[in-house]
């Protein structure tokens, strides 16, 4: 256990709705957490920083802070200094790392939230022991991280891992990014709900009863519960989303040839209902599958705390090392 005077390492996951800070030990165990609501996108930047500061000070509980890692839901530059764009936060090109370091007076490390989650799964979770791994995070959309030889692959702009915007269907469904046919339009929480809404009414179903026959009332958790109850529309939705998941993973495996593929995020909690069709689609879609070792597709282990665990790990790694 951490003593009263021993410096602590803190990870902070900053999303569109919440700030979650945690003290993380060197085994990746979260010892304490503190939560604040995210003020939103259309606020003064200082309000977001105030929420971060409040969560960090609460979780530190008077103990000295060795360093803080921040996992931001947005595009972080390759230098780990700026959040270039965040869809649900007011940071656009802001030098977040320096601003937070000045406010807190401790070393701060900044990275994308999916990168942090990927590092956590590689270091402490489902990809532990692998030399290379792809981590796909499935929520409203799709994000992810790439690890090769134990190092995060960030890319020239720091924006590698935006898997959700690979085009898988030319002239397909329009995407919020402005493109069409993006992977996340076929395999994500939004895709799951859209499929169920479109098919509801084709046959009597739990979903129809739960929503009073109104497709607009269907939510992701509702689809999951209905699938567990045997609802055929909900199960077909998972089968479709899982199949498209495997198609996209096949593209990633062809490009990076990882040892393992880890699926995290809220949608992944469906387990084999999602992953089994994904494994089948990977085997079917991967070039040369009969002549190579096809990587396993496994569920993430660290849950919603993966981002802050990875952020704290980055802070601990940085220590006195030069900035990347």
Residue 2 belongs to some domain of the structure: no
Confidence of residue 298 (pLDDT cuts 50, 70, 90): very high
Residue 39 belongs to some domain of the structure: yes
- Span 244-295, pLDDT tens digits: 999 999 999 999 999 999 999 888 888 999 999 999 999 999 999 999 999 9
Residue 323 belongs to some domain of the structure: no
Q: How many CB atoms lie within 10 A of CB 48?
A: 23
What pLDDT is recorded for position 133?
A: 97
Residue 144 belongs to some domain of the structure: yes
- Span 83-122, pLDDT tens digits: 998 877 888 898 999 999 998 899 999 999 999 999 999 9
Confidence of residue 41 (pLDDT cuts 50, 70, 90): low
Distance CA 196, CA 222 (A): 10
Distance CA 92, CA 76 (A): 10
Q: Are 187 and 244 in contact (CB under 8 A)?
A: yes
**263 and 223 co-located in one domain:** yes
**63 and 110 co-located in one domain:** yes
User: Pairing mode, if any, of strands 75-76 and 151-152?
Assistant: unpaired
**72 and 26 co-located in one domain:** yes
User: Residue 143 maps to which CATH number?
Assistant: 3.30.420.40
**295 and 313 co-located in one domain:** no
**134 and 257 co-located in one domain:** yes
Residue 1 belongs to some domain of the structure: no
Cα-Cα end-to-end distance for the chain: 31
Tokens of 55: 């969560």
Compute the average pLDDT of residues 221-242: 93
**144 and 293 co-located in one domain:** yes
149: left (phi over 0), alpha (psi -120 to 50) or beta: left
What pLDDT is recorded for position 322?
A: 47
Residue 124 belongs to some domain of the structure: no
- Helix and strand element counts for the chain (H, E): 9, 12
Helices (H), the chain: 45-60, 96-104, 113-124, 189-199, 206-211, 220-228, 232-256, 272-285, 306-318
265: left (phi over 0), alpha (psi -120 to 50) or beta: left
Distance CA 185, CA 146 (A): 21
**76 and 160 co-located in one domain:** no
Q: Are 108 and 101 in contact (CB under 8 A)?
A: yes
Residue 3 belongs to some domain of the structure: no
**54 and 167 co-located in one domain:** no
What pLDDT is recorded for position 94?
A: 87
Q: What does 16-39 look like in DSSP terms, one character per residue?
A: SSEEEEEEE-TTS-EEEEEEEE--
Helix (H, G, I), strand (E, B) or coil at 65: strand
Residue 123 belongs to some domain of the structure: no
Q: What does 197-246 look like in DSSP terms, one character per residue?
A: HHHTTSS--HHHHHHTT-GGG--HHHHHHHHHTT-HHHHHHHHHHHHHHH
Tokens of 302: 């660290």
**220 and 310 co-located in one domain:** no
- Span 130-155, pLDDT tens digits: 999 999 999 888 999 999 998 999 99
Helix, strand, coil: what percent of the chain each, to 5?
40, 20, 35
**279 and 229 co-located in one domain:** yes
Tokens of 288: 């040369």
**216 and 273 co-located in one domain:** yes
Q: Which domain holds residue 246?
A: 129-300
Distance CA 224, CA 253 (A): 28
**103 and 245 co-located in one domain:** no
- Domains held by the chain: number: 2
Tokens of 36: 């604040």
């Amino acid at each position: 256990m951490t003593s009263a005077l021993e410096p602590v390492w803190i990870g902070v996951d900053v999303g569109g709705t919440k700030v979650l800070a945690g003290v993380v030990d060197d085994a990746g165990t979260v010892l304490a957490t503190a939560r604040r609501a995210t003020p939103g996108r259309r606020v003064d930047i200082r309000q977001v920083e105030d929420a971060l500061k409040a969560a960090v000070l609460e979780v530190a509980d008077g103990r000295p802070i060795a360093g803080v890692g921040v996992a931001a839901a947005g595009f972080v530059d390759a230098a780990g200094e700026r959040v270039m764009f965040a869809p649900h936060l007011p940071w656009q090109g802001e030098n977040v790392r320096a601003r937070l370091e000045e406010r807190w007076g401790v070393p701060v490390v900044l990275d994308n939230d999916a990168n942090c989650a990927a590092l956590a799964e590689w270091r402490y979770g489902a990809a532990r022991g692998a030399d290379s791994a792809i981590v796909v995070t499935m929520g409203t959309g799709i994000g992810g991280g790439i690890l090769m030889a134990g190092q995060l692959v960030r890319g020239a702009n720091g924006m590698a891992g935006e898997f959700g915007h690979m085009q898988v269907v030319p002239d397909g469904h329009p995407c919020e990014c402005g493109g069409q046919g993006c992977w996340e339009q076929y395999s994500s929480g939004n895709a799951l709900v859209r499929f169920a809404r479109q098919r509801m009414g084709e046959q009597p179903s739990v979903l129809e009863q739960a929503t009073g026959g109104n497709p607009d009332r269907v939510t992701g958790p509702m689809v999951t519960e209905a699938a567990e109850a045997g609802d055929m529309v909900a199960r077909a939705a998972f089968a479709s989303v899982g199949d498209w998941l495997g198609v996209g993973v096949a593209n990633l495996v062809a490009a990076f040839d990882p040892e393992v593929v880890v699926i995290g995020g809220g949608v992944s909690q469906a387990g084999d209902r999602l992953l089994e069709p994904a494994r089948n689609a990977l085997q079917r879609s991967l070039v040369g599958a009969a002549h190579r070792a096809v990587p396993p597709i496994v569920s993430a282990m660290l849950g919603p705390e993966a981002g802050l665990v990875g952020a704290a790990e980055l802070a601990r790694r940085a220590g006195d090392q030069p900035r990347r």
